[in-house]
Amino acid sequence: MSFYETLGVDKNASLEAIKQSYHKLALQHHPDRTFNANESKDDNKNEPFLQIQEAYEILSDAHKKKQYDVQIKQQQIANNSSISYHVKLTECELIDTEKDDSAKVVSNVYEYP
């Protein structure tokens, strides 16, 4: 399960949306709220809360989030998963132009940041 799924947010969610989801889930799954006096404290019962904390720690930090997104993308590529994005050409950066022998532009190569 991805950190986005853990927090129930979209990959493009704002920091505010990530914070709101984290606070809601942290309160809901906090060990002090879910502890039953008739049961012994078990590390497995803390697992959802710890996963929520870890997801928030990564997704709330822009640098860590970017690294995580790259890691996820690399895993998808390694698993031969198909990735499809719909972007506007204006959102891309021209990185190369291919020309034929008469200097006529044959194709342009764009990169999405």
Q: Tell me which residues of the chain have a pLDDT lower than 70.
A: 34-43, 80-83
pTM comes to: 0.62
pLDDT number for residue 41: 55
pLDDT number for residue 43: 54
pLDDT number for residue 38: 54
Q: Which long-range contacts (CB under 8 A, 24 or more apart) does 45-53 make?
A: 51/1, 51/6, 52/6, 52/7, 52/22, 52/25, 52/26, 53/26
